[in-house]
Amino acid sequence: MNITARLLRGLDALFPATTASAHCDGPCGVYDPASARIAGEAVLSMTKKLLDLDMSADGAHNTYIRFVNIKEEQAELVKRELNILWHDYFKPEHLDQYPDLHTTFWKAAKQASACKTSVSLDAANELMSMIENIHNIFWATKGRDIPWYTAS
């Protein structure tokens, strides 16, 4: 190992780099509400499974806990994906077209939180409706007519 490599290794040991994480600080320009839709569908699916679960069955408590965990993780992912769109994609000129844009995203994030704290089919369906509205707004700002669909 040459002297330069040793010196750099020593500097790395003394001054380690901090890890940075971000969706894309490029910015990459790749945005799509589909990831929020997929996570929202998982919230809806887990909610249905929780409501249908026979708690008297063997292993039901473990299954219940697993379903709740998945539901909460996916609801948190909905919030993350919506925040990326809200903060990184949408610009001031979009507010001219959609003056309720901030309220739309804020309410959707609150709805995702409500899905975390409850097992409510109504809440999960409402979340999906809110994500669909954001989907429609997003694609309209791009001048594209992309139909809403769900995997389930």
- Chain segment 64-79, per-residue pLDDT in tens: 999 999 999 999 999 9
Interior/surface letters 20-41, b for 16+ CB within 10 angstroms, e for the rest: eeebeeeeeeebebebbbbbbb
Mutual angle of helices 60-84 and 121-141, in 10-degree steps: 20
Supply the CATH classification number for the domain 32-141: 1.20.120.400
Q: What is the pLDDT of residue 149?
A: 94
Coil vs helix vs strand at 29: coil
Q: How far is CA 40 from CA 59, 67, 118, 152, in A?
A: 26, 14, 14, 11
The low-confidence residues of the chain, meaning pLDDT below 50, are none
Q: What is the pLDDT of residue 8?
A: 72
Q: What is the pLDDT of residue 16?
A: 78
